[in-house]
Amino acid sequence: MAGFINSVKRKLNLAPGASSGDGDPVVTELREALSPDRVRYDGAERSLLSRDASVFDGGVAGPVCFPITTAEVQAIMKIALKHQRNIVPRGAGTGLAGGAIPLGAPIVVAVTKMTEIIEVDLDNRIAWVEPGVVNLDLTRHLHRSGFHFAPDPSSQQVCTIGGNVANNSGGPHCLAYGVTNAHVQALEVVLPSGEVVMLGGLEAEPAGLDLRGAFVGSEGTLGITTRIAVTITPDPPAVKTLLLSFETVRDAANTVSQIIAAGIVPAALEVMDQRITVAVENYVNAGYPRDAGAVLLAEVDGLAESIEIDAEKIAQIGHANSAIDVRTAADEAERAALWKGRKTAFGAVAQIAPDYYLHDTVVPRSQLADVLEKIYAIADRHDLLVMNVFHAGDGNLHPLLVFDGREEGILDRVHAAGAEIVRVSLDAGGVLSGEHGIGVEKQAYMDEVFTADDLAHQNRLRQAFDPGCRTNPGKVIPSGHSCADIQALRQVPTGVWA
């Protein structure tokens, strides 16, 4: 993937200031529809938005649009339709599967200026937000109202709710509260045809097919959302956060499995191995033990009378699995420190190596320990350093391959190890992705999971929304099954954007 994208970039001579776009009728029409300053065509902007947070080395962006209203998004869609140009929607670009990488020099629609929290409706327990609202900003806005927005991906300080909708994002607390789909009640969407429709609704059971549910997690391939009604969740009256330390990752994983088996559904169950724990301690001094083989961060929330019982049971299960130590956060400051450590884990690896590749697979909880041992062995075999920090309660693994991209040939080893990690997860009865999505990263594996008939049905849904396959083309469904010929996207049509 990186190879062909680089070759296209070289072909385009994509240097800052390469072109203003003047004279291109599409750029002209876009500037008339928005405003000249919100349709960028300079090399710097195009280069910046040619990649996301994944290791995939950028795509090729066409004009970059920053709409501020639904009408402007609609105008962009209509211009794209008129000129048969592709569209790639984009939030903050924190995706890790290459889902926002523009292939084939499309019009890039960045919703990052649509940041209004339009209304908080406590009677319906929803908030209407624009797609560029940063995830954590909504919870901050709700502070003191007694409510919060439950999906909390690690990137929540920067990722947008529009991006969360596209990827059906999760986070540590979706163990008890569910992923983004469970928190989206209605979506205003601009379709590739330029029509604006409201999918879902605030009713208990909105009438008709659940197109809302089909849109969430579709990775920007079915249209662009411009307003979202998200559920707001009451703050729990009491929370207990426990830090359990173990000699081995296996003990921590077994504890997780047994907690669930005991009928407890904690708010979060997160495991970190020793390598990442030490990195985090060096980075933010969160209070994790440096000598433990693994730590389990377990959080229970709810009524005080209830969480006392669950916390005690969790501690018992931990001790039965040879926990070295079980500690309960004494106050909000200690709890915040423990979570800060978990949520900054990926930042902490920068002190070890300049690059990392974060994988995302899900395995049955009972398979966690075995799959983790295989992952360590895979990394050893490829002479790579792997760290594990993951949503254990969901069986959602996040192996982190840490490396220095300047080392000759290392990216090939990283990709080879990654492929093996995906396969051991699938062999254990798991799935390709828990929360990062397929993007371009995992397309090639879709054939290993789904049959041709399964993929044909996914593609039928895609075509019902976007018959021309112009919205985020070349993503999710692999070539050969997709309505868009991904191979064709490797060529930028002559005279377009160059």
Site for other proteins, residues 282 to 311, rule: CB under 8 A: 302-306, 309
Site string for other proteins, 155-174 (x = CB under 8 A): ------------xx-x---x
Q: What is the 3-state secondary structure (H, E, C) of 233-250?
A: EECCCEEEEEEEEECCHH
Q: At what angle do helices 332-343 and 274-284 cross, to 10 degrees?
A: 120
Binding mask 431-450 for other proteins (x = CB under 8 A): xxxxxxxx---x---xxxxx
Does 457 help bind other proteins (rule: CB under 8 A)? yes
**Taking CB under 8 A as the rule, does residue 119 contact other proteins?**
no
Please identify, using beta-carbon distances, which residue of 246 and 465 lies nearer to other proteins. Answer: 465
Contact 179, 196 (CB under 8 A): no
Burial, 464: exposed, middle or buried (Cβ in 10 Å; 0-12, 13-18, 19+)?
Answer: exposed
According to CB under 8 A, which one of 120, 196, 353, 385 is a site residue for other proteins?
196
The footprint of other proteins on residues 350-369 (CB under 8 A) is: 362-366
Of residues 391 through 420, those in contact with other proteins by CB under 8 A are 391, 394-396
User: Which residue is associated with the tokens 């397929």?
Assistant: 438
Q: Could you say which residues in the range 204-223 bind other proteins, by CB under 8 A?
A: 204-214, 216-218
Q: 125 vs 413, which CB is nearer to other proteins?
A: 125
User: b/e map of 179-216 (b: 16 or more CB within 10 Å)?
Assistant: bbbebbbbbbbbbbebebeebbeeeeebeeeebbebbb
Q: Which two tokens stand for residue 110?
A: 């960045």
Q: According to CB under 8 A, which one of 429, 485, 487, 493 is a site residue for other proteins?
A: 429
Choose between 17 and 263: whose C-beta lies nearer to other proteins: 263
Identity of the residue, 157 or 366, whose beta carbon is nearer to other proteins in the bound complex: 366
For residues 464-493, which are near other proteins according to CB under 8 A?
Answer: 464-465, 476-477
120 binds other proteins (CB under 8 A): no
Look at residues 453, 462, 496 and name the one whose alpha carbon lies nearest to residue 482. 462
Kindly list the strands in the beta sheet with 39-40, ordered across the sheet, starting from the edge strand earlier in the chain: 39-40, 64-65, 107-110, 87-90
Alpha-carbon distances, residue 396 vs 247, 336, 362 (angstroms): 21, 23, 4
Binding residue for other proteins, selected from 68, 182, 324, 411, defined by CB under 8 A = 182
Per CB under 8 A, contacts with other proteins among 122-151 are 123-125
Which residue matches tokens 């990654």? 418
Q: Judged by CB under 8 A, which of 2, 44, 118, 265 binds other proteins?
A: 265
Q: For residues 15 and 303, which CB has a smaller minimum distance to other proteins in the complex? A: 303
Closest by alpha carbon to 472, among 131, 196, 108, 62? 108
Name the maximum alpha-carbon separation found in the chain: 72
